[in-house]
Amino acid sequence: MFITQKLASQTVAQVLAGKNLTEALNAVWRNNPDLESGQRGAIQDISYGTLRQLGLVEGVLKQLLRSPLHEAELKSLLLISIYQLQFSRAAPHTIVDHAVKVAAQTGSGFGKGLVNGVLRSFLRGKDELVRRAQANEVGQYSHPAWWIKTMKAAYPEQWQDILNANNQHPPMTLRVNPQHTTVNDYLNLLSTSNIDAVVLDDSAICLKRPTSVDSLPHFFDGWVSVQDWGAQAAAKLLDLQDGQSVLDACAAPGGKTGHILETAKVTLTALDNDAMRLKRVEDNLKRLNKSATLLLGDASEPNTWWNGQQFDRILADVPCSATGVTRRHPDIKWLRRNEDLANFARQQAKMLDALWPLVAPNGKLLYATCSVFPIENAASAEAFALRHPDAKRLDLPVQALPHGQSIDGQLLPTAEHDGFYYALFVKTPHEI
């Protein structure tokens, strides 16, 4: 446990200093290649769990300190240890003992005594300490105050459910490739592999417990892909038909790209501005035995890559705050700032305006984000329609949506899917 606590503490410290959690963990894996799979899993679980519950554990730690703790290593060590003591099944004395050993290596003269005293004080009074921390909304919901305030204003009836959903483990959902099998037949294959799952609709299966893709029957033959149920709506909403030309803007990592090609025989162009991420699209298509034209370019600057041929369908899965997938990336809660939202909205507007001329007459553009903030979603869609009189917004077909419903295109996170937003536009002649 010593090495897992040490490396989890370092990971959380990096995130609190502003580093992306995925990048922080990748650095740990690179620097510690001899870690066993169980150790890697424990480090990841502790890091993710601490960041999911950071508002609570910080609220507890604040009560246990006489003054603010400025040593980042010690602070993150205390945070992950409090998280473990409150939420894990590990023996408390083991957690404390190993935390003290980690503290001895930080170089702080008072680290061992501080960590030992704080953690033992927590164990003596943890019920009351947790109760006091949860008396504050940041402690109760483990989200920044500005985020909670925005959710209350945007979703007065659902805000608590949204915040609570963000703190849960995400579901693992599969998209079944209809060119190979059906959901019911694949469900039987899962059953023979002792993998419990339930059917969500005619293409989606949710596993009751996450598992390695190596365990999924015929995964590497392209029979299924891992894709959130909410994300699977994108290809369905595009109203794809054989023979169409389709642009998947901001295509990486390629989940929606593959789904488009499974849905209809189209000529597909997959665009992304990151060469390494575009390679992931290529790898995903190879697994599915599908092909597309892969382009490296910025969707907001078509003049650098567009050949002048308009598209029948465009999927504009634009950059956003990613606040709808917070439970998969809990660092988002603590790295995002309120002012980031307006910046994303401006970037999205620029991209939409640049892509709209590429839509053929009577063609459709699907605006998509994995955000729950209205400034990036409903407000952006409404502003786009006002800027482009030939952009008529269409109602979303209910059969394409999880549970057959949304709030004006907004999917809020539930136990079965993440948060997404969709707005569908058709290009019509200018009204006179």
Look up the CATH number of the domain holding residue 88: 1.10.940.10
Q: Assign residue 217 a region (left: φ > 0; alpha: ψ between -120 and 50; beta: otherwise).
A: beta
Of 202, 226, 250, the residue that ends a domain is 226
Could you tell me if 294 and 203 lie in one domain?
A: no
Residue 432: pLDDT above 80?
Answer: no
pTM: 0.93
5 Cβ neighbours under 8 A, 6+ residues apart: 46, 77, 80, 81, 84, 95, 98, 99, 102
pLDDT digits (tens, 9 = 90+) for 110-123: 788 999 999 999 99
Residue 147 lies inside a defined structural domain of this protein: no
Q: What is the DSSP string of 103-141?
A: HHTS--TTHHHHHHHHHHHHHHHHHHHHHHHHTSHHHHH
Could you tell me if 212 and 265 lie in one domain?
A: no
Look up the CATH number of the domain holding residue 300: 3.40.50.150
Q: Quote the number of domains for the chain.
A: 3
Residue 68 lies inside a defined structural domain of this protein: yes
Look up the CATH number of the domain holding residue 206: 3.30.70.1170
Could you tell me if 212 and 314 lie in one domain?
A: no
Residue 163 lies inside a defined structural domain of this protein: no
pLDDT digits (tens, 9 = 90+) for 347-362: 999 999 999 999 999 9
Instruction: Give the whole-angstrom CA distance, residue 374 versus residue 344.
Output: 12
Could you tell me if 269 and 389 lie in one domain?
A: yes
Could you tell me if 240 and 219 lie in one domain?
A: no
Could you tell me if 316 and 393 lie in one domain?
A: yes
Of 226, 252, 270, the residue that ends a domain is 226
Residue 174: pLDDT above 90?
Answer: yes
Residue 165 lies inside a defined structural domain of this protein: no
Could you tell me if 272 and 406 lie in one domain?
A: yes
Q: Which domain holds residue 218?
A: 172-226
Instruction: Give the whole-angstrom CA distance, residue 115 versus residue 81.
Output: 9
Could you tell me if 378 and 324 lie in one domain?
A: yes
Could you tell me if 243 and 272 lie in one domain?
A: yes
pLDDT digits (tens, 9 = 90+) for 228-283: 999 999 999 999 999 999 999 999 999 999 999 999 999 999 999 999 999 999 99
Residue 160 lies inside a defined structural domain of this protein: no
Residue 100: pLDDT band by 50, 70, 90 thresholds? very high
Residue 14 lies inside a defined structural domain of this protein: yes
Of 142, 158, 193, the residue that ends a domain is 142
Could you tell me if 213 and 301 lie in one domain?
A: no
pLDDT digits (tens, 9 = 90+) for 188-204: 999 999 999 999 999 99
Could you tell me if 222 and 237 lie in one domain?
A: no
Residue 388 lies inside a defined structural domain of this protein: yes
Residue 1: pLDDT above 80?
Answer: no
What are the catalytic residues?
Answer: 370
Token reading at 159: 């805000």
pLDDT digits (tens, 9 = 90+) for 280-313: 999 999 999 999 999 999 999 999 999 999 999 9
Could you tell me if 283 and 210 lie in one domain?
A: no
Residue 239 lies inside a defined structural domain of this protein: yes
